[in-house]
């Protein structure tokens, strides 16, 4: 069994990166480190992200800004390379766009779209509205109200 | 849930039929999808994860499909059974080793699987024998349509299908082709393959994610880009690269047959001999020998042994299959002895 180059888990991905003519580098990584590797390598090579060029205070502020829906902070994303919820793509759009550009060479989707898009979009905003209501009902300890909203959410999700 | 019955067979994708099956083992396409109204899996509370699982389980089992899916709760499985599903490529290692409510639905052909609460809440997967990107795409596209009619996907006008990791956002599509390239390995032309991969960002990995380059000459080629390129564009780029690799491998095979036929005959016959007679056999060595035998069958250097049987053995000699087939837990030397015993029994009639 081969160990991951970065930690001590079992290496499951063997990535060969081409550096130039007849020159390549092998990486043996576990699933998680490989994920990080794939995500970070284009960033490391191209221009640094805007956050790293700012002074420390601004960086700190940026890193602690959080998504109002799931509470994810940019610093959490930098650590785990996972976003917290679908809203994060908008909340952190400014920071994500250069990353997406580096990863994919594009920042705009091209391809399949959900068939029931208009209906789905409407439903999505309705669901978001109900979830906000639910949250405030819970905060106000209005449990009957909360239960009613939860039923509505379930019904909508179940179509 | 008893999964033991699975061990004696393999999924249809390992039949060894299908287009270009002398080189292409299988084609796999997966789509990553999430629900609009929940946090992504790793950020969901245990209660939300349970809610997501029961919602998706309900929708998935109600899909109207020609081959119905059965749902297995991965959280409720013993570690050995989880490993078994990994070896059959029905679930990822990440799902097997994860925590909390999660599961997988698959059909009796093992051609379709849907993972629930993986890194993304839904990971749809279609497997095909041989090179069948277009066929696999049609099947998964349809499956995705059926599911989308029953749940509300996380979707964004600019970014497409939203995923937990930005490496998958957009189409959420990862298409992989598993290739057997023994002649390229023997003639040391691997850098040719790497060069053809360079332009479109593909990743090379070993079969079953275990072992290294040397182990069995199996490579998986897949796309990395998911944003800004349509599914059909990505698939045709992949098809183009695969065709190129196929021609390198075929040329290398032809050159070996023309110039080193006796050496090659010796190599494949020895490989079969070792598999039929050895008393200890590691997983890596098994892969290497089976790889040679597979090449021998394809070049007509070995008769009396079927491609089906060889393809099956690749899966059945993996640790948890072996453990199920011979009964009782095994480790280290015991496992290598059991593997050799199993190989001897399976290959005995062909001597
Ligand atoms: Zn690692
Ligand atoms: Zn969020």
pLDDT in the model for residue A154: 79
> What's the pLDDT band for B269 if we cut at 50, 70, 90?
very high
Report the candidate in B215, B288, B205 with the shortest Cα–Cα distance to residue A16: B205
Mutate to test the interface with A, among B39, B195, B232 (most CBs of A within 10 A): B39
Among the partner-chain residues A110, A114, A159, the one whose CB lies closest to the CB of B230 is A110
> What's the pLDDT band for A60 if we cut at 50, 70, 90?
low
pLDDT in the model for residue A43: 33
Which of B309 and B60 is assigned the larger pLDDT? B60
Among the partner-chain residues A83, A111, A114, the one whose CB lies closest to the CB of B230 is A111
Where are chain B's structural domains?
A: 4-252, 261-350
Give the CATH fold of the B4-252 domain: Creatine Kinase; Chain A, domain 2 (3.30.590)
The pLDDT tens digits of the residues spanning B277-329 come to 999 999 888 988 999 999 999 999 998 888 888 988 988 888 888 888 887 77
d(CA A128, CA A138): 15
Structure tokens at A91: 């909340």
| Residues B226 and B173: beta-carbon distance below 8 Å | yes
Among the partner-chain residues B150, B164, B227, the one whose CB lies closest to the CB of A83 is B164
Q: Rank B93-102, B114-123, B199-208 by mean pLDDT and report only the highest.
A: B114-123
Question: In B, which residues are within 8 Å of A110 by CB distance?
Answer: 160, 170, 228-230, 233
Which ligand has the nearest atom to the CA of A9?
A: 1
pLDDT in the model for residue A15: 66
The per-residue pLDDT of chain B, averaged, comes to: 88
- Chain A stretch 37-56, residues whose beta carbon is closer than 8 A to a beta carbon of chain B: 38-39
Q: Does B172 touch chain A (CB under 8 A)?
A: no
What ranges make up the beta strands (E) of B102-217? 103-106, 112-116, 122-129, 155-156, 160-161, 173-180, 202-205
Q: Is residue A62 packed enough to be buried (19+ CB in 10 Å), middle (13-18) or exposed (0-12)?
A: middle
Q: Is residue B185 packed enough to be buried (19+ CB in 10 Å), middle (13-18) or exposed (0-12)?
A: buried
Give the pTM.
Answer: 0.80
Which ligand has the nearest atom to the CA of A4?
A: 1
Question: In B, which residues are within 8 Å of A119 by CB distance?
Answer: none
Per DSSP, chain A holds a count of helices (H) and strands (E) of 8, 2
Q: Does B284 touch chain A (CB under 8 A)?
A: no
Closest-CA distance, A139 to chain B, in angstroms, reads: 17
Q: Is residue A125 packed enough to be buried (19+ CB in 10 Å), middle (13-18) or exposed (0-12)?
A: exposed
Closest-CA distance, B1 to chain A, in angstroms, reads: 27
| Residues B187 and B256: beta-carbon distance below 8 Å | yes
pLDDT in the model for residue A45: 37
Q: Does A97 touch chain B (CB under 8 A)?
A: no
Which ligand has the nearest atom to the CA of A5?
A: 1
pLDDT in the model for residue B255: 95
CA distances in angstroms from B62 to A151, B105, B315, listed in the order given: 21, 11, 31
Question: In B, which residues are within 8 Å of A31 by CB distance?
Answer: 92-94, 209
Question: In B, which residues are within 8 Å of A85 by CB distance?
Answer: 38-40, 43
């Amino acid at each position: 069994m081969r160990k991951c180059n970065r930690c001590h888990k079992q290496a499951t991905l063997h990535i060969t990166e081409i550096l130039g003519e007849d020159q390549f580098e092998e990486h043996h990584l576990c699933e998680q480190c490989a994920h990080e590797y794939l995500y970070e390598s284009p960033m490391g090579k191209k221009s640094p992200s805007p956050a790293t060029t700012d002074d420390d205070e601004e960086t700190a502020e940026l890193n602690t800004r959080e998504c109002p829906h799931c509470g994810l902070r940019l610093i959490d994303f930098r650590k785990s390379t996972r976003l917290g919820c679908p809203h994060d793509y908008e909340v952190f759009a400014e920071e994500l766009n250069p990353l997406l550009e580096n990863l994919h060479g594009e920042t705009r989707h091209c391809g399949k779209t959900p068939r029931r898009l208009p209906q789905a979009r409407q439903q999505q905003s309705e669901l978001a509205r109900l979830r906000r209501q639910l949250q405030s009902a819970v905060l106000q300890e209005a449990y009957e109200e909360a239960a009613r909203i939860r039923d509505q959410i379930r019904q909508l999700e179940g179509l | 849930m008893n999964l033991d019955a699975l061990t004696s067979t393999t999924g249809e994708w390992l039949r060894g039929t299908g287009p270009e099956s002398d080189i292409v083992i299988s084609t796999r396409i997966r789509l990553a999808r999430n629900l609009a109204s929940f946090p992504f899996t790793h950020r969901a509370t245990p209660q939300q994860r349970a809610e997501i699982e029961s919602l998706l389980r309900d929708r998935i089992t109600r899909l109207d499909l020609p081959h119905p899916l059965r749902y297995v709760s991965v959280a409720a499985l013993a570690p050995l059974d989880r490993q078994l599903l990994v070896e059959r490529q029905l679930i990822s290692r990440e799902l097997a080793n994860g925590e909390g409510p999660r599961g997988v639905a698959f059909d009796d052909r093992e051609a379709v699987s849907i993972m629930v609460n993986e890194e993304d809440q839904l990971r749809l997967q279609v497997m095909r024998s041989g090179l069948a990107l277009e066929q696999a795409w049609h099947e998964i596209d349809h499956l995705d349509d059926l599911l989308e009619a029953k749940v509300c996907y996380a979707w964004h006008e600019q970014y497409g299908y939203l995923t937990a990791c930005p490496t998958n956002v957009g189409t959420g599509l990862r298409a992989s082709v598993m290739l057997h390239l023994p002649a390229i390995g023997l003639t040391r032309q691997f850098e040719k393959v790497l060069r053809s991969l360079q332009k479109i960002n593909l990743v090379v990995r070993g079969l079953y994610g275990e072992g290294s380059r040397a182990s069995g000459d199996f490579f998986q080629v897949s796309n990395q880009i998911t944003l800004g390129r349509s599914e059909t564009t990505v698939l045709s780029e992949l098809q183009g690269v695969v065709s190129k690799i196929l021609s390198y491998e075929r040329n290398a095979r032809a050159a070996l047959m023309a110039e080193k036929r006796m050496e090659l005959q010796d190599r494949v016959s020895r490989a079969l001999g070792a598999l039929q007679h050895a008393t200890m056999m590691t997983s890596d060595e098994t892969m290497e020998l089976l790889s040679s035998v597979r090449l021998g069958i394809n070049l007509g250097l070995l008769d009396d042994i079927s491609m089906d049987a060889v393809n099956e053995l690749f899966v059945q000699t993996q640790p948890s299959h072996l453990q199920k087939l011979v009964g009782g837990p095994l480790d280290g030397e015991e496992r290598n002895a059991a593997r050799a015993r199993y190989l001897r029994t399976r290959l005995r009639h062909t001597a």
